[in-house]
Amino acid sequence: MVGCAGAGSVSSRRIVAAAGVVAALLGCGAPARDAGTATIAPFITVDDFGDTLRLAAPATRVVSLNPNTTELVFALGYGDRLVGRTSWDLYPAAARAVPSVGDGMQPNVEAVLGQRPELVLLYASASNRAAVQQLRAAGVATLTLRTDHVADLARIAPVIAAALGDSTRGALATDTVVAVLDSLRNLPRAIEPRRVFWHIWDAPLMTIGRGSYLSELIDIAGAENVFDDIAAPSPQVSLEEVARRDPYAILAGPNSAATIRAHPGWQAVRAVREGRVFVVDTTLVGRPGVRMGEAARHLRALILGDSAR
Amino acid sequence: MIRIDDLVLRYRAAAEPAVRGVSLEAPEGRITAIVGPNGSGKSTIVRALLGRLAPEAGRITLDGVDFTTLGRRAVASRVAVVPQREEPVFPLAVRDFIALGRYPHAGAFSGRTAADRDAVAAAIHRADVGAFADRRTDELSGGEWQRVRIARALAQGGRALVLDEPTTFLDVAHEMSVFELLDSLARSGQCVLLVSHQLNLVARFADHIVLLHHGVIAAAGTPAEVMRGNILERVYEWPLVVARDPAVGAPFLVPLRGRGTR
Amino acid sequence: MTARTWALLVMLLGVAVVVGLAGGSVPLSPLDVWRALTGNGAGDTASAIVQGLRLPRVVLGAVVGAGLAASGTALQATLRNPLAEPYLLGVSGGAAVGAVLAVVVGVSMPSLVPLAAFAGAALAVLLVLVVARASGAYADPRVLLMAGVVVGAFCNAAIMVALATAPEESVRGALWWMMGSVGDAQWSTVRSVSGYVVAGIALLAWWGRDIDVLALGEDAAASLGLDVERVTRRIYLTASLLAAATVAGAGLIGFVGLIVPAIARALGARTTRETVAASALAGAALVVGADLVARTVVRPAELPLGAVTAIIGVPFFLWRLRGAAR
Tens of each residue's pLDDT in chain B, 262 residues: 899 999 999 888 788 888 998 999 999 999 999 999 988 889 899 989 988 888 888 999 998 888 888 888 999 999 999 998 888 888 889 999 999 999 998 766 667 788 888 999 999 999 989 998 899 998 888 888 999 999 999 999 889 999 999 988 888 888 998 999 999 999 999 999 999 988 889 999 999 999 999 999 999 999 989 988 888 888 888 888 888 888 878 888 888 887 655 4
Q: In what order do the strands lie in the sheet with A62-64?
A: A82-84, A62-64, A119-123, A141-145
Task: Compare all CA atoms of chain B with the CA of C270 and give the residue at the minimum distance.
Answer: B92
ω into residue A204 within 30 of 0, thus cis? yes
| CA–CA separation, A60 and A81 (whole Å) | 5
3-class secondary-structure state, position B236: helix
Q: What value does the mean pLDDT take over residues A194-223?
A: 92
Cβ–Cβ contact A109 with C under 8 A = no
Number of helices and strands in chain A (H, E): 12, 10
Q: Hey, are the CB atoms on B84 and C219 less than 8 Å from each other?
A: yes
The mean predicted confidence, pLDDT, of chain A is 84
pLDDT exceeds 90 at position A229 = yes
Q: Hey, are the CB atoms on A244 and C186 less than 8 Å from each other?
A: no
At residue A252 the predicted structure's pLDDT band, cuts being 50, 70 and 90, is very high
> DSSP class of residue C53?
I
Q: Hey, are the CB atoms on B75 and C80 less than 8 Å from each other?
A: no
List of chain A residues whose C-beta atoms are within 8 Å of the C-beta of residue C107: none
List of chain B residues whose C-beta atoms are within 8 Å of the C-beta of residue C226: 72, 103
Instruction: Note whether A touches C: 3 CB pairs or more under 8 A.
Output: yes
Contact A67, A88 (CB under 8 A): yes
The pLDDT of residue B170: 87
Contact A66, A147 (CB under 8 A): yes
| CA–CA separation, B127 and A130 (whole Å) | 77
Q: Hey, are the CB atoms on C176 and A237 less than 8 Å from each other?
A: no
Q: Which of B156-160, B190-194, C29-33, C208-212 has the lowest mean pLDDT?
A: C29-33
| CA–CA separation, B42 and B244 (whole Å) | 26
The pLDDT of residue A14: 63
Domains and CATH numbers, chain A: 43-183 (3.40.50.1980), 191-304 (3.40.50.1980)
Which element (helix H / strand E) includes C93? helix C91-105
Which ranges in A76-188 belong to alpha helices (H)? Answer: 109-114, 129-137, 150-164, 168-185
The structural domain count of chain C equals 1
The pLDDT of residue A308: 43
Subunits adjacent to chain B (3 or more Cβ pairs under 8 Å): C
Q: Hey, are the CB atoms on A267 and C187 less than 8 Å from each other?
A: no
Q: Hey, are the CB atoms on C300 and A230 less than 8 Å from each other?
A: yes
At residue C132 the predicted structure's pLDDT band, cuts being 50, 70 and 90, is confident
Say if pTM beats, i.e. exceeds, 0.80. Answer: yes
pLDDT in tens, C49-96: 888 889 999 999 999 999 999 999 999 999 898 888 888 888 889 999
| Global ipTM | 0.88
Q: How far is B45 from chain C (nearest CA, A)?
A: 13
The pLDDT of residue C45: 77
Greatest alpha-carbon pair distance for chain B in Å reads 66
Q: What value does the mean pLDDT take over residues C5-30?
A: 91
pLDDT exceeds 70 at position C157 = yes
Q: Hey, are the CB atoms on C223 and B50 less than 8 Å from each other?
A: yes
Q: Hey, are the CB atoms on C109 and A202 less than 8 Å from each other?
A: yes
Nearest to C256 by CA among C245, C266, C243: C243
Q: Hey, are the CB atoms on B88 and C217 less than 8 Å from each other?
A: yes
At residue A65 the predicted structure's pLDDT band, cuts being 50, 70 and 90, is very high
Nearest to B186 by CA among B225, B152, B142, B154: B154
pLDDT in tens, A17-54: 555 555 444 444 444 444 444 555 678 889 999 888 88
Q: Hey, are the CB atoms on C224 and B89 less than 8 Å from each other?
A: no
Cβ–Cβ contact C215 with B under 8 A = yes
| CA–CA separation, C78 and C232 (whole Å) | 6
Domain span at C211: 3-325
pLDDT in tens, C227-242: 998 999 999 999 999 9
List of chain B residues whose C-beta atoms are within 8 Å of the C-beta of residue C222: 50-52, 72, 81
State phi, psi for C21 to the nearest 5 degrees: -80, -30
List of chain C residues whose C-beta atoms are within 8 Å of the C-beta of residue B105: none
Q: What value does the mean pLDDT take over residues C262-281?
A: 93
Cβ–Cβ contact A258 with C under 8 A = no
Q: Hey, are the CB atoms on C206 and B75 less than 8 Å from each other?
A: no
Q: What value does the mean pLDDT take over residues C179-198?
A: 88
pLDDT exceeds 90 at position A202 = no
pLDDT exceeds 80 at position C168 = no
Q: How far is C132 from chain B (nearest CA, A)?
A: 16
pLDDT in tens, A161-175: 999 988 888 888 889
List of chain C residues whose C-beta atoms are within 8 Å of the C-beta of residue B90: 76-77, 82, 215, 265, 270
Which residue type does B96 have? D
| CA–CA separation, A96 and A283 (whole Å) | 15
3-class secondary-structure state, position A24: helix
The pLDDT of residue C52: 82
The pLDDT of residue A107: 86
List of chain B residues whose C-beta atoms are within 8 Å of the C-beta of residue C218: 52
| CA–CA separation, A173 and A43 (whole Å) | 20
Contact C289, C260 (CB under 8 A): no
| CA–CA separation, B219 and B197 (whole Å) | 16
Please give the sequence-ordered ranges of beta strands (E in DSSP) within chain C, or none if there are none: none
List of chain C residues whose C-beta atoms are within 8 Å of the C-beta of residue B112: none
Q: What percent of chain C has pLDDT over 90?
A: 49
The pLDDT of residue B197: 86
Cβ–Cβ contact C265 with B under 8 A = yes
Which residues, 6+ apart, have CB-to-CB distance to B113 below 8 Å?
A: none
Q: How far is B73 from chain C (nearest CA, A)?
A: 4
Nearest to C236 by CA among C82, C77, C120: C77
ω into residue C300 within 30 of 0, thus cis? yes
Distances (CA, A) of A98 to A59, A79, A101, A116, B192: 16, 9, 9, 14, 90
Which residue type does A217 have? L
Name which of C81, C223, C270, C272 to mutate to probe chain B: the one with the most chain B Cβ atoms within 10 A of its Cβ: C223
The pLDDT of residue C223: 93
Question: What CATH number did the domain enclosing C195 receive?
Answer: 1.10.3470.10
pLDDT in tens, C77-88: 998 988 888 888
pLDDT in tens, C280-290: 999 999 999 99
